């Protein structure tokens, strides 16, 4: 996108990611994001937030937003994030995100945002009626990441383009303000079979909160019976599972179910095929349903348990916001100096 050559960044490694409080979480969020967060907290300093500023780029009922924020926090904890290891907080509680986002709006170019495919998908036919925030959404995302000088960003595949934009903004800021290597070039962590979980009704569409059919997704709070029924009714073809990944790749629905099986069991798709090649969905689906029930129902139960005591969640979010501010404030102070603001 740009011709600014990055200079090696010498700061500490740091993980950052977030999920929007804009609806019930599903298996795609769990495998594409939450499971990775829980693993990474043991490897690096980890910051995980609830993206409430991003959520309001489309209408959110003010009476529900705080509770939706607690629900995402509960899902983080239920998926294994430990507030002693990871900093967990609401985005809007750390004001530096929005401050840096404004400065980045003056660094990013219109042409860069014009290429963002997610805006095109989300704004649909009525682009002119979308909020301005929906358009500048990826600039705020860059600020979320760079205010902590994060180096690693675990996300699902749909966020790849936003990470590329973040890298471009970091490089242009470093260049424009003659501060080579001030911001790192963050690496997206997208690998693995859970990075793009597809709808159970249509192997060519992403599993998504906004799909009108609840049978298209497995929600983290679904009961064991719901999960089993959804797997049983998942769309498939009549052929048995193939021997090779090449053949599997030509069958979108089969590929998706094998990918889900692999991600839930911590195996590769090739390993799953080694066990199930030649077997039909009559055998594979019940095994997948059992695995999904076994893995997900305890997560849903933990979420419900945590939500029965919102004061504990609020305590965790407040402590997380304080710790996040301690890291974000010095970065913003440095940025203000670099930009040349009065009093900086």
Please say which residue, 195 or 289, places its beta carbon nearer to ligand TRP. Answer: 195
Please say which residue, 104 or 281, places its beta carbon nearer to ligand TRP. Answer: 104
**Which of left, alpha, beta for 186 (phi over 0: left; psi -120 to 50: alpha)?**
beta
Q: Indicate the SS3 state at residue 17.
A: strand
Q: How far is the CB of 342 from ligand AMP (least distance, A)?
A: 37
Q: Is 75 in the site for ligand AMP (CB under 6 A)?
A: no
Please say which residue, 154 or 242, places its beta carbon nearer to ligand AMP. Answer: 154
Q: Decide if 19 contacts 50 (C-beta within 8 A).
A: yes
CA–CA separation, 257 vs 239, rounded Å? 14
Give the footprint of ligand AMP on residues 18-57 (CB under 6 A). 19-20, 28-29, 32-33
> 15 forms bridges with which residues in the sheet?
46, 152
Which stretch, 65-73, 154-162, 171-179, 311-319, contacts ligand TRP (CB under 6 A)?
154-162
Q: Is 141 in the site for ligand AMP (CB under 6 A)?
A: no
In the numeric block, the tokens 């390993």 are attached to 271
CA–CA separation, 205 vs 26, rounded Å? 14
Give the footprint of ligand AMP on residues 195-224 (CB under 6 A). 195-197, 206-207, 209
Q: Is 260 in the site for ligand AMP (CB under 6 A)?
A: no
Please say which residue, 231 or 335, places its beta carbon nearer to ligand TRP. Answer: 335
b/e per residue 120-138 (b: at least 16 CB within 10 A): eebbeeeeeebeeebbbbb
Q: Cβ neighbours of residue 204 under 8 Å, at least 6 residues apart?
A: 198, 252
Q: Is 83 in the site for ligand AMP (CB under 6 A)?
A: no
Please say which residue, 234 or 321, places its beta carbon nearer to ligand TRP. Answer: 321
Give the footprint of ligand AMP on residues 169-198 (CB under 6 A). 195-197
Q: Is 116 in the site for ligand TRP (CB under 6 A)?
A: no
Binding characters for ligand TRP, 14-33, by CB under 6 A (x = yes): --xxxxx-------------
In the numeric block, the tokens 């590769």 are attached to 268
CA–CA separation, 47 vs 41, rounded Å? 9
CA–CA separation, 200 vs 257, rounded Å? 8
209 is catalytic: yes
127 is catalytic: no
Q: How far is the CB of 166 from ligand TRP (least distance, A)?
A: 8
If you write DSSP's letter for every residue of 191-208 in order, what string do you get? -STTSSPBPSS-TTSB--
Binding characters for ligand TRP, 35-54, by CB under 6 A (x = yes): ----------------x--x
Residues 172, 206, 269, 285: which is the catalytic one? 206
DSSP state of 28: H
Q: How far is the CB of 195 from ligand AMP (least distance, A)?
A: 6
Please say which residue, 186 or 193, places its beta carbon nearer to ligand TRP. Answer: 186
Please say which residue, 19 or 263, places its beta carbon nearer to ligand TRP. Answer: 19
Q: Decide if 242 contacts 255 (C-beta within 8 A).
A: no
Contact partner, 167, from ligand TRP, ligand AMP, none, Cβ < 5-8 Å per class: none
Q: Indicate the SS3 state at residue 19.
A: strand
Q: Is 73 in the site for ligand AMP (CB under 6 A)?
A: no
233 is catalytic: no
Q: Sort 226 into a burial class: Cβ within 10 Å, 0-12 / 13-18 / 19+.
A: middle
> 50 forms bridges with which residues in the sheet?
19, 90
- 88 phi and psi angles, rounded to 5 deg: -115, 125
Q: How far is the CB of 181 from ligand AMP (least distance, A)?
A: 27
**What Å distances lie between residue 148 and 145, 152, 194, 267, CA to CA?**
6, 11, 26, 32
Using CB under 6 A as the criterion, which residues of the chain lie in contact with ligand AMP when the complex forms? Answer: 19-20, 28-29, 32-33, 155-156, 158-159, 195-197, 206-207, 209
Using CB under 6 A as the criterion, which residues of the chain lie in contact with ligand TRP when the complex forms? Answer: 16-20, 51, 54, 141, 144-145, 153, 155, 159, 162
Active site residues: 122, 206, 209
């Amino acid at each position: 996108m740009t011709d600014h050559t990055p200079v090696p960044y010498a700061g500490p490694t740091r993980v950052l990611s977030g999920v929007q409080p804009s609806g019930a979480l599903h298996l795609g969020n769990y495998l594409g994001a939450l499971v990775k967060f829980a693993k990474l907290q043991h490897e690096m300093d980890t910051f995980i937030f609830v993206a409430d500023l991003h959520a309001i780029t489309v209408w959110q009922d003010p009476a529900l937003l705080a509770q939706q924020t607690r629900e995402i926090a509960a899902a983080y904890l239920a998926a294994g994030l430990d507030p002693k290891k990871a900093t967990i907080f609401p985005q809007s509680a750390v004001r530096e995100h929005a401050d840096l986002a404004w400065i980045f709006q003056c660094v990013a170019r219109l042409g860069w945002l014009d290429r963002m495919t997610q805006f095109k998908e989300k704004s649909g036919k009525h682009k002119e009626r979308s909020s301005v925030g929906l358009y500048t959404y990826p600039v705020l995302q860059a600020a979320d990441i760079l205010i902590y000088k994060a180096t690693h960003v675990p996300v699902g595949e749909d966020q790849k383009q936003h990470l590329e934009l973040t890298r471009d903004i970091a490089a242009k800021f470093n260049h424009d303000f003659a501060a080579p290597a001030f911001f790192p070039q963050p690496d997206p962590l997208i690998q693995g079979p859970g990075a793009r979980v597809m709808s159970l009704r249509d192997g060519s569409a992403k599993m998504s909160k906004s799909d009108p059919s609840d049978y298209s997704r497995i929600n983290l709070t679904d009961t064991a019976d719901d999960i089993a029924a959804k797997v049983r009714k998942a769309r498939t073809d009549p052929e048995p599972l193939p021997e090779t990944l090449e053949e599997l790749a030509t069958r979108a629905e089969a590929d998706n179910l094998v990918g889900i099986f692999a991600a839930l069991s911590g195996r590769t798709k090739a390993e799953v095929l080694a066990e199930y090649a030649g077997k039909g969905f009559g055998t594979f689906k019940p095994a997948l349903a059992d695995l999904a029930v076994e893995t997900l129902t305890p997560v849903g139960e933990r979420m419900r348990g945590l939500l029965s005591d919102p004061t504990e969640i609020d305590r965790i979010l407040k402590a997380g916001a304080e710790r996040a501010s301690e890291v974000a404030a010095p970065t913003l102070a440095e940025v203000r100096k670099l930009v040349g603001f009065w009093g900086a």
